[in-house]
Amino acid sequence: MLAYYINLDSRPDRRAFMERQFAVLRLEVERLPATTPSTIEADDPALPSLERLLTQLSAPEIAISISHFRAWRAMLDQGCGNVLVLEDDLLLSGRLPGFLSELEREAFAIDILRLETHQTEVRIHPRAEPAPTGFAFHQPLSFESGCGAYVISATCAARILSSPHRFSMPLDDLLFSLASPFRRRNTIRTAVPALALFRFEVTAEFNVPESILISDAHAERVRLSEWKGRNKPTGLRRVSREVARLRRQAANLLPALWIRLVARTVVVPFAGDGLSEPPSTVRPRA
């Protein structure tokens, strides 16, 4: 399966961390230099008005989307049916290669397959669907942030890339949020157990720099949130926003009720098999 991992040129620590894992797993994953705020327009010549986008998303959020979109376009250019996309701050399971081989061989009809877990409570449909041996696929019925490890189909990628709404929200919301404009058209599943772990704890014996866990985009997201808080709409704009919010809530009332009745609350476990290190050296964060 075609596979890319996204890595900033300024983060050689993360590059070394990921490539060591790929070597142990014997996985061929190509590095995709990440788009940065300074290369946004060069990396996406078809970008809508950047000035307008910056009122909705931070520059790092736009750059993250473009990085992932470039991986999708590479898949489409090569005529592949799916692509594995990874970010560079995840612990990978030793079971990932076998999982990917069976996934590609069986050609499961899924648009977006989430492979990561934050080990926080999420809601999923209780029905387990066919999946590679030792795993199950479940429909996610709640939102969990992050888009660090997933497989996306060419059909789904082309649909999003051709849409004017592709920058309507941060990428993880666009792919997995219940409010995403693409949610109803996509078949989305999550792998249980997960093949990639986010927010793992680095210990001295694990020999990985603490910097691996420092997010480059987090500070910018906080600043954008503060900017939105200071610039809330007033007058007719505020009334219009509230009316739109009430309409969304009314439209989602029955789906939300269905989710409450059907969903099972779980913590998606990590598939384990830490790479080249004793399992005791990597612990999930509380």
Helix orientation angle between 59-77 and 154-161, rounded to the nearest 10 degrees: 130
Closest Cα partner for 60 from 114, 17, 6, 2? 6
Domains and CATH numbers, the chain: 2-284 (3.90.550)
Both tokens of residue 118? Answer: 């934050």
Cα distances (angstroms) measured from residue 72 to each of 2, 43, 48, 88, 160 = 10, 13, 18, 17, 10
Cα distances (angstroms) measured from residue 242 to each of 52, 232, 238, 249, 253 = 21, 12, 6, 11, 16
Q: pTM score, two decimals? A: 0.82
Both tokens of residue 258? Answer: 């269905």
Q: Give the per-residue pLDDT at 285.
A: 41
Cα distances (angstroms) measured from residue 133 to each of 2, 22, 26, 100, 194 = 21, 22, 20, 11, 13
Low-confidence ranges of the chain (pLDDT < 70): 201-209, 215-234, 236-260, 273-286
Vertex 257, ends 251 and 260: CA angle to 5°? 140
Helix orientation angle between 253-262 and 235-251, rounded to the nearest 10 degrees: 40
CA–CA gap between residue 86 and residue 100 (Å, rounded):
13
Q: Give the per-residue pLDDT at 282.
A: 39
Q: Which amino acid is at 201?
A: E
Sequence length of the chain is 286
CA–CA gap between residue 159 and residue 276 (Å, rounded):
39
Q: Give the per-residue pLDDT at 220.
A: 47
Buried b (16+ CB within 10 A) or exposed e, 204-222: eebebeeebeeebeeebbe
Cβ 138 vs Cβ 189: under 8 Å: yes
User: 48-103 pLDDT, tens per residue?
Assistant: 888 888 888 899 999 999 999 999 999 999 999 999 999 999 999 999 999 999 99
Q: Is the bond preceding 45 in cis, omega lying within 30 degrees of 0?
A: no
Q: Give the per-residue pLDDT at 175.
A: 96
Closest Cα partner for 144 from 188, 108, 94? 188
